[in-house]
Amino acid sequence: MAKLFNKQMDYGTVEITTDASGNGTASVTFGTAFDKAPEVKVIKPLNDIKGDYGVKNSPELILAKGRQPIGSISLYEDVAGGVYTKCTDDNAVASGAITAFADNGDGKTLVTDAAHGLDEGTVIQIYDALAATGMNGFFVVEQVQAAATPGTFVIDREFIATGTANWQVLAHDLEDDDLIEIKNSSNYSGNRTISTSAVGSFYIDAAYVADDAIGYWKLLPTLTTTTMTVEVVGSSIRSGTVSANWTAFERQ
């Protein structure tokens, strides 16, 4: 069964000037702010019996380089009588040294740093893991200070090899209008748009319910561009102008 379109949709008509071979391109700018890469269809005009219509350089989703991809939330607060929710991500900038990685036996990795002082749910960046480069990246800290193995915590990454590395906790770098996904929250999980970003906090476009005091956010990719190029190849209309209808939409 086909999925229904969601509210994100745009459409229009584009005028394409063709050359002597019936080829041509034209740029289209979206009037709709898409949250993800839209599907685009170009409808062949009735007065063109030969042309092949399509899209070049259609917008794609990318995660901005150099941006922190995930972070943790420790507090949710009421803003403007419940209209917005303020999220606190004020983990103090910290760092430490990892002395070993080990197989945790559940598809995850046990990390050893006797003096880490981390809390469960904190997001860290592991770097300089030279013997096990697959351990580099951002992770949510789990299973802190297991009784049988004090000075350890667990990350959701399959064990690769032991070795040493460093870790750090970073201040969030979210910006207004960023799109994030909140996870592990009873009341706020889902895609949210950022506003009023400040040091250690940000607002989300969700009505306040209660303080879950737990959860983490994931920065979602954004569109590479708000324009696309429509092209026609082999049009029967040579050295002229042809009009084509286009539709761009997101599926639920």
pLDDT at residue 2 tops 50: no
Q: What is the CATH number for 147?
A: 2.40.30.180
Statement to judge: residues 24 and 137 lie in one domain: no
Statement to judge: residues 152 and 135 lie in one domain: yes
> Which pLDDT belongs to residue 3?
41
Q: What is the CATH number for 196?
A: 2.40.30
Q: What is the CATH number for 42?
A: 2.60.40
Q: How high is the mean pLDDT of the chain?
A: 86
Statement to judge: residues 132 and 144 lie in one domain: yes
Output the pTM of the full model: 0.61
Q: Is the torsion defined by CA of 130, 131, 133, 135 positive or negative?
A: negative
- According to DSSP, the residues that pair with 180 across neighbouring strands are 192, 219
Statement to judge: residues 16 and 46 lie in one domain: yes
Q: Is the torsion defined by CA of 43, 48, 49, 54 positive or negative?
A: negative
CA atoms of 17 and 28, how far apart (whole Å) = 14
Domain boundary among 154, 169, 184: 169
> Which pLDDT belongs to residue 62?
67
Per-residue pLDDT of 168-210, as tens digits, reads 988 888 999 888 999 989 999 999 999 999 989 999 999 999 9
Question: What letter represents residue 138's amino acid?
Answer: F
Helix-, strand-, coil-residue percentages of the chain, each rounded to 5: 0, 45, 50
Statement to judge: residues 146 and 180 lie in one domain: no
Question: What letter represents residue 103's amino acid?
Answer: D
> Which pLDDT belongs to residue 228?
86
Domain boundary among 141, 169, 197: 169
Domain that holds residue 137: 94-169
Statement to judge: residues 194 and 244 lie in one domain: no
Statement to judge: residues 85 and 180 lie in one domain: yes
Q: State the total domains in the chain.
A: 3
CA atoms of 155 and 245, how far apart (whole Å) = 50
Statement to judge: residues 147 and 192 lie in one domain: no
Statement to judge: residues 179 and 85 lie in one domain: yes
Q: How far is CA 50 from CA 16, 17, 18, 20, 123, in A?
A: 15, 15, 13, 14, 56
Q: Find, among 208, 120, 210, 101, the residue nearest to 158 by Cα.
A: 101
Per-residue pLDDT of 96-146, as tens digits, reads 999 999 999 899 999 999 989 888 888 899 999 988 888 998 998 988 876
